[in-house]
Amino acid sequence: MSVDGWHTLLVLGGIRSGKSEFAESLVADAPTVRYVATAPAGDPEDTEWATRLAAHRARRPGSWTTEETAADPGRLVEVIATAGPNETLLVDDLGGWVTVLLDPAHQPADDTATITELATAVRSSAARVVLVSPEVGLSLVPTTPLGRAFTDALGATNRAVADACDAVALVVAGQAAWLKPAAPAHAVPLAATSPEAAPSRGAALRPAALQPAPRQTATTGAVPADLGAGDVTLPEVLTPAAAPVPAPVTPGAPDTGDWAAPTMALPMIATGLVIQPGMELPMPDDYTGPQAVDRLATLDIPGAGLGVLEQVVGFAAATQGTSTPRPWDSVRVLLIRGDHVGGASAGATTGESDRRARQARAGRGALARLAAENRAGLQIVEAPASAPIEDGPALSADEVEAALRYGWRLAEQAADAGVQLLVLAACGAGAEAAAAAVLAATAGAEPPTVLGRVVTEQGEIDDAAWMVRCAAVRDALHRTRRSAREAKDVLAELGGGDIALATGVLLGATARKVPVLLDGPVGAAAAMVSRDLAGQARHWCLLPDHGGRPGVRLAADVLGLTPLVDLRLDLGEGATALAALPLLRSALTLAATLPVHPSLGGPDDGDADRGGHTGDDERISDDGKRIGDDDQTGDDADFAEPEPAGPGPATTGSDEPVAPGRRAD
């Protein structure tokens, strides 16, 4: 099943009930859709039927492809059975398919066997399939043998397909009712679950989606292996004042409710979300980004404009779906702590990552103070410890699955809380060496070229430790030279818990359309792995600075991410992104608030901008008040010439100090 709770869906409805529009709205977020048209062409002189078909064609987006199966009823079975896991099929409708099935040209035939084959194909399909069918069981029994044959065959088809599908919906008068499974009591309209997403075509017809159940926050803990058990808590979120903000808990809420999201098309199993290659995740808006950048050329900006910060405006516009993006108000920092033992952590101080995590939790240290300066929440997450990669896998396959799902859930929690931007941070012994191993495996780089120098606590370069780390990465790559290079295999063999968890965060954030600031090797390695699971994830990532780290530079080049600044700060992963965040926000503020240049039709920036004309008898004081001639005591009453600043406050005969540059009256 998908995060919406279904993988295959049957949509039933009467004539003009809105069933087709409802089905189309369910797949509107899919990158590509194969529309399977089953209806025959009909009588060329039947203009009313031709008009209906034309209306259906007009609603289909240009990115959709269409396949006609009217010539052979067996073709539909073949299409569904052979569709791949990355495909989305919309079959409209089974009434047309039954019409072709009963056509004398295809008789004699075993109609029951063909219907069974269709149901079997739907049940075993790897693709996401939505089927539309007329509901004829509520009408009177037809009076003609042909009419009875049609209703009997269509009724049998609907029953067989409904039994094979994960979910069944009935559309009546444009309103959808879930027949399988029954809608939960806490279901809410889809529009209410994503207030920032613009309603797409047919959004009013979309089903009620499961509202992700709030979870009681908890202190930092390791990633649980039984994530799908339903009783797992998430780490607390610290406000800038370092106070935990607990969320209400829904007793007895099923764990699958936490994964509900209207933008996803992912399979589910009984124990929770399955993250696999080829996932269909949403993409940023292709049009609003370039529109926002083009709009900058019309603004009343002196000089050449925003320079490289135009990329920030384009990125924010595409991820927000508007050509006038707003600055990110709600920001959350996810600090992932996960240690790597063995040669990867050579030169690291024992217990240093734990100390850094405690320091951040207490509101001290560079990361916590920068988070407070940016009014960002801070969440410290414990990743499972990773075994020596030179000797064997860093994690087991089950631990990788749990870490991916846990990271996804953290992103879900942030999106449900209204977070508009995530900042990925990390601290852990050996994390940079593990990231270098992942980059070497996924990008084909040599370990020494992507592994940064080792700097001790005293600020000295430790070349001996660097060589040990290089040897560990080299041995790990040699050990896995014949292993698969699939994303989960790389995480298990080389990446470890922190990179696996960060990968889950990136995928979950992409699913919920939340942009992410990357900053450091763990985030870069996670982005490389997430690319192999869902290529859309990298489009939701922004890299403010490469920090002088060679691995981050390589990942940025492969992913097509252009660093915006070159501050060369080394304050720990995540801190540089927070240091650059005020600059990024300033660019968005200017883009959103500056008027169009007067030469292009914008308002003149003369006196009219101050709310009215100020003549010779009025002047504006420093605090914005108007001063008339009768209020003036002289030509220099408004502005005082600055006085020389001495070693202390200036005085004017009285005991009251006067600040330098001010006149005493």
Q: Is 573 a catalytic residue?
A: yes
Q: How many angstroms separate the CA atoms of 77 and 86, rounded?
A: 18
Bridge-based pairing state of the strands 541-542 and 516-517? parallel
Q: How many angstroms separate the CA atoms of 412 and 406, rounded?
A: 10
Q: How many angstroms separate the CA atoms of 657 and 648, rounded?
A: 9
Which of 91, 321, 99, 348 lies closest to 200, judged by CA?
321
For residue 345, give both structure tokens.
Answer: 């952590």
Residue 662 φ/ψ, nearest 5 degrees: -120, 150
Q: Where are the alpha helices (DSSP H) in 396-462?
A: 397-416, 431-443, 447-450
CA 664 distance to own-chain centroid: 58
**Number of neighbouring beta carbons within 10 Å of residue 141:** 8
Q: How many angstroms separate the CA atoms of 327 and 614, rounded?
A: 34
Residue 90 φ/ψ, nearest 5 degrees: -125, 110
Which of 414, 413, 335, 415 lies closest to 368, judged by CA?
335
Please pick, among 24, 310, 412, 573, the residue that the annotation labels catalytic: 573
Q: How many angstroms separate the CA atoms of 500 and 550, rounded?
A: 21
**Number of neighbouring beta carbons within 10 Å of residue 498:** 35
The CA-atom distances, in angstroms, between 13 and each of 16, 21, 123, 204 are 8, 11, 21, 16
Q: How many angstroms separate the CA atoms of 3 and 193, rounded?
A: 14
Bridge partners, residue 657, by sequence: 651
Which of 90, 95, 97, 92 lies closest to 72, judged by CA?
97
State the catalytic residues: 573
